[in-house]
Chain A
Amino acid sequence: QVQLQQWGAGLLKPSETLSLTCAVYGGSFSGYFWTWIRQPPGKGLEWIGEINHGGSANYSPSLKSRVTMSADMSKKQVSLKLNSVTAADTAVYYCARSEGATKRDYYMDVWGKGTTVTVSS
């Protein structure tokens, strides 16, 4: 039973860098893409991007200039960094496992519980 455990700082000031980590337990790390999604309070889901074990990544065009994802196969962990945060980046951040034949087919079949990140001065 694959489980994703995620953690990171929950309270940031404007202009700081958001940093989250997601660890994979009970399953394979390679052969999948690992996706980050966020959900602002009371709003819908927003795709941030995805990365595989080799470091190949796809980022949301709207966040690409501020996002960096990395993967550590030895630890079975992926990380998300989002710099220059503002109040608009306040959200619950989820990591999820993505599976599919190509990136156009990916679906997220295992999700972490989410990490609440608040940006406030």
Chain B
Amino acid sequence: ILNVEQSPQSLHVQEGDSTNFTCSFPSSNFYALHWYRWETAKSPEALFVMTLNGDEKKKGRISATLNTKEGYSYLYIKGSQPEDSATYLCAFINGNNRKLIWGLGTSLAVNP
């Protein structure tokens, strides 16, 4: 059974704080890692698709890194804003069957 774990499960930060959270996945037979943001009452929105060890991707104040050898990815948010409040989900794709295996998400609340 392949597990994807995200930590922390939830966190509360103040507006302007920078924050980061982790997605851990099996390090063998890696194919790709996806990050999504899911705001309440909306549909999940793709942030990044990462495929290479050492990948770093950035979209505005959000960035992500990937370490496939040790099986983790970090998502960073610089200068959090209330509109960043959402659940951040990662999904791992195993090279055997190319199915996405999802973590449970990190729920971020940014207080103004």
| A, B in one complex | no
